Structure 1
Amino acid sequence: MGDNARQSSCLLKGGRFFLLEKERYLSDRFALEPASDKQLLQDIWGTPWGVFCPVGPIRSVLMHRPGEEVLQIPKDQYEVEAGSLRLREVHGRSLSKGRGQDPPDLGLLQAQHDGIAEALRKAGAEVLMLDQPESGVWPDRMFTRDLGMVLPGGVILSRFALYLRQGETRIAQETLGRIGVPILGAIHGQGFMEGGSFALLDSRTAAVGRSERVNDAGIEQLRQLLRIQEVELLTIDMPSDKIHLDEAFLMLDTDKALVNPRLLPHWFLKALHERNITMLAVDPEDPPLTINALAVAPGKVLFSSEGCPTAELLQKNGIEVIPVEVSEIYKMGGGIHCVTLPLVREEDPFGRASAVTPRQ
C-alpha cells in the first residue's frame, strides 16, 4: 500500500470511526478485548467510562445540586448520611444524636456545592447532573457517591437500606442510561450496598466497609461482580457509629492514603503497609468528616477549608490541597466525597507502578 492509500485508510469517517475501525465493526470476528478495553468503550459507548486508577485525574463526575427537597426532611432526621440509626436502640449515653438540627441554609448549601463543582471543573472534570425524578422527594440525593461502585468500564448500582433513599437507584439508572454509562451489575434481593462504603486501592484491589447500610448479602453480590472484573475485595467491619468506609479511609495518591486509625482494624493498616501505601492520620481536632475529601488527580485533593491541621500534614507529605467550604454540607451528614461520583478517572499520568507491590 502506498503512502497516499495508507493515509486515506486512516481518514476520519463520519466524524467518529477510522475507516479501518469501521471495517472492524462490520466483521464477524469474535471480540477478543474485555468489555473494559478503552478503545472499545470509546468506539461503542462514546467515552472510556470507568475508574482506571483510584486517584487518576477525574474527567467526568456525577453530582446533584441540592434543591427544595432537602427541606422536606423531618427535623429529627438530618445527618442520616453519616448517622448510625442502630445507636438509637442503645439506652444511656450514645455517640449519636441523630440529625436533630435545624434545617440547612439552602442558599449556603447550594453555594458550597457550586464551589465544589467549580473546583472540579478547574481540575479538568466535566460535571454531569443527576436527572430530576418523575415522582418522589428523595431528599438525600445530593449524596451521589452512594449511587454505585465505579470500576474500569462502568458502574455497579447500589441498593439502599433505608426507605428514605430507595428511589435513588432508579434515578441513577435512568441518568446513567441517558448519559451512556455501561451498567456492570446491580445489588438485588436482600442485599444492601452503598457507594460511600466502597473504595478502590488500586486496579486489582477494592475495600468495602460492612455496617448497618452494607450487609453480608450485598457484600457477597459485590464480591461476585468484582470477581468478573478480576478485582479482589477486602471487607472491613466499621464501628457501630459509622456507616461508610469514607469516614475512615481515603486514597490520596497511588502510594499515599489518609486514614483514621481509630476506626480501622489493625489487619487493614497492615495490608496498606504491605502494599507500600504511606498512611497519614487525620487530625482528631479537625471536624469528623474532614477525611471525607476527594483526590482529583494523584497527589492533588479537594479538602475542607476547616481541616487545617490535617491539610498541613498533607502538604508536608507532598499532597497539593485545594480548600473548599463544606460547613453546610457537614450539617447534612456528608462531605466532599459524598457529593461526588467520578464516572471517568484516567490511569496514573505519571505511569507509576501500582501500589500493590508487596514490601520485601
Structure 2
Amino acid sequence: PNQMFCADLMFMTPEGCILARPASDVRAGEERLLAAALAREGVPILRSISGRGVFEGADGAWITPTQVMVGRGIRTNQAAIDQMRAVLGESGVEVIAFDMPIGTMHLQGMLRFADHNLALAWPLRLAYHAVDALKAAGYRVEFLPDVDESIHNAAFNFVTLGPRKILMAAGNPKTQQFYEGLDIECVTVNVEELYKAAGSIGCLSGIVARERV
C-alpha cells in the first residue's frame, strides 16, 4: 500500500523531477515504477538520488522560487542533500538544510503551507534555523495550538488547493477552527481507510509540474 504515497517518491522542480531514493527497506525500488510513469507522461527527470544518498520527497519544500528547504533525518541524509545542492544550484536555487528531531519522519509532517506567505508548523519540532529562514522569506509562521487531532486523525496532513484553501481530513473540529481563524477555507473529506496504511491526503499528493513564479 505504500506505493500510493507518492509524495515521498519525487521532488518536482520547474526543470523536472528529482527522483527520491527511499530510506525504508520496504519502499526501496518504488522510485523505478515512478520513473517509468513519469517517462510515459513526458515529465523530465533531472536527477536520481544515488550512491550513499537517501532522500524522500516529503523532506523537501520550496519556500521561494530560489530557495528549497530540506530536512535531514531518518529518511534523508547529507549525501542526498549534497546531490540536491549540486543539481538545484545549476538553476540558481539555494538549499537550506537543517536537522529534524527524533520522532519526526518527514519535513512535511511538521511544516505545511496554506498560502504564499503563511506557513503552519508543529510546535517544538521545527528548528530555529528553519523558522528564521521562513520569516526572512516573508512568511508568517503559525504553530498548531493542539496536536492531539494531528497525532490521532491526521489533521495536519492536508493538501493546499489554492491560496488559503485546503483539503483536510474530516473529524478535526479543533484544528479546523484554528485553520479557519487564519482565514483558511477548509474542505473536509473522510479518509479513515487511509489510516490503515499509516498515511493521509498529503502523503498521496505528488506534484508533477511546477512553474517558476
Q: Same fold (TM over 0.5)?
A: yes
Separation of aligned partners in 1, 2:89 and 2:4 = 30
Structure 1 residues 346 and 320, CA, compared in 2 at 3 Å: closer, same or farther?
Answer: farther
Aligned to 2:104: 242
| 1:28-47 matched pairs, under 5 angstroms | none
Superposition deviation, residue 256 in structure 1: 0.4
Separation of aligned partners in 2, 1:147 and 1:267 = 26
Tell whether the 8 Å contact from 1:302 to 1:321 is kept in structure 2 after alignment: yes
Superposition deviation, residue 245 in structure 1: 0.4
- Work out whether 1:146 is the aligned partner of 2:11: no
Structure 1 residues 347 and 152, CA, compared in 2 at 3 Å: closer, same or farther?
Answer: closer
Residue 65 (structure 2) aligned to one of 172, 179, 203: 203
Report how many aligned residue pairs link the two structures. 210
Aligned to 2:19: 157
Report which structure shows greater RCO (CA 8 Å, sep ≥6).
1
Give 1:343's aligned amino acid.
V
Structure 2 residues not aligned, in runs of 5+: none
Give 1:280's aligned amino acid.
E
Deviations 1:119-159 (A, max 9, x none): xxxxxxxxxxxxxxxxxxxxx10110111110112111011
Separation of aligned partners in 2, 1:238 and 1:318 = 29
Structure number with the higher strand fraction is 2
Separation of aligned partners in 2, 1:328 and 1:243 = 21
Separation of aligned partners in 2, 1:235 and 1:316 = 31
Report the 3-state secondary structure (helix = DSSP H, G, I; strand = E; otherwise coil) of the residue aligned with 2:129: helix
Aligned to 2:179: 314
Deviant stretches of 4+, over 6 Å: none
Aligned-pair RMSD on alpha carbons? Answer: 1.6
- Work out whether 1:252 is the aligned partner of 2:117: no
Aligned to 1:302: 167
Deviations 1:300-343 (A, max 9, x none): 11112133222212212221111122223233222211111021
Q: Percent identity?
A: 33
- Work out whether 1:188 is the aligned partner of 2:53: no
Separation of aligned partners in 2, 1:306 and 1:262 = 24
Separation of aligned partners in 2, 1:329 and 1:302 = 15
Residue 336 (structure 1) aligned to one of 198, 201, 212: 201
Give 1:274's aligned amino acid.
A
Separation of aligned partners in 2, 1:245 and 1:307 = 22
User: TM-score under structure 1 normalisation?
Assistant: 0.56
| 1:69-218 matched pairs, under 5 angstroms | 70=1, 140-218=2-80
Separation of aligned partners in 2, 1:331 and 1:308 = 22
Aligned to 1:286: 149
Separation of aligned partners in 2, 1:307 and 1:234 = 32
Separation of aligned partners in 2, 1:216 and 1:205 = 17
Separation of aligned partners in 2, 1:232 and 1:159 = 21
Separation of aligned partners in 1, 2:167 and 2:212 = 19
User: TM-score under structure 2 normalisation?
Assistant: 0.92
Residue 264 (structure 1) aligned to one of 118, 126, 129: 126
Structure 1 residues not aligned, in runs of 5+: 1-69, 71-139, 349-360
